[in-house]
């Protein structure tokens, strides 16, 4: 066998014997707790799910406010006031 083949075979054998170390998510050792005492929290009060929900609500509100601003900018948020006839507001919000 050539030297490179022997080295690669030795490397494969070491990798097979050593295996891969997988961290245990339920590890309650002192080092694990000292490293991250609150792994389920992203901030001081929020879990990752709570942070994602807050971001989704904020994005939704920002999108709706942007559409309202766009309607006001293009003057499409209310009927034309140039009509000689009385205007009935169907949105429920009198102007």
Q: If pLDDT is split at 50, 70 and 90, which confidence band does 6 have?
A: confident
- Per-residue pLDDT at 81: 73
> What is the reported pTM?
0.47
Q: Which tens digits make up the pLDDT trace of 26-66? A: 667 878 777 777 777 777 778 888 889 999 999 999 999 99
How high is the mean pLDDT of the chain? 78
DSSP symbols for the chain: --HHHHHHHHHHHHHHHH------TT---HHHHHH-S-TT-SSSS--HHHHHHHHHHHHHHHHHHHHHHHHHHTT-SS--S--SSPPPP-SS---
Under a CB-based contact definition with an 8 Å cutoff, are residues 55 and 47 in contact?
A: no
Token pair for 56: 């989704």
């Amino acid at each position: 066998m050539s030297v490179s083949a022997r080295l690669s075979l030795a490397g494969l054998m070491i990798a097979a014997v050593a295996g891969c170390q997988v961290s245990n998510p339920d590890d309650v050792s002192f080092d694990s707790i000292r490293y991250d005492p609150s792994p389920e929290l992203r901030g001081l009060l929020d879990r990752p799910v709570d942070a994602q929900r807050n971001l989704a609500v904020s994005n939704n509100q920002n999108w709706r406010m942007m559409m309202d601003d766009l309607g006001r900018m293009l003057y499409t948020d209310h009927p034309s006031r140039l009509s000689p006839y009385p205007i009935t507001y169907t949105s429920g919000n009198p102007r």
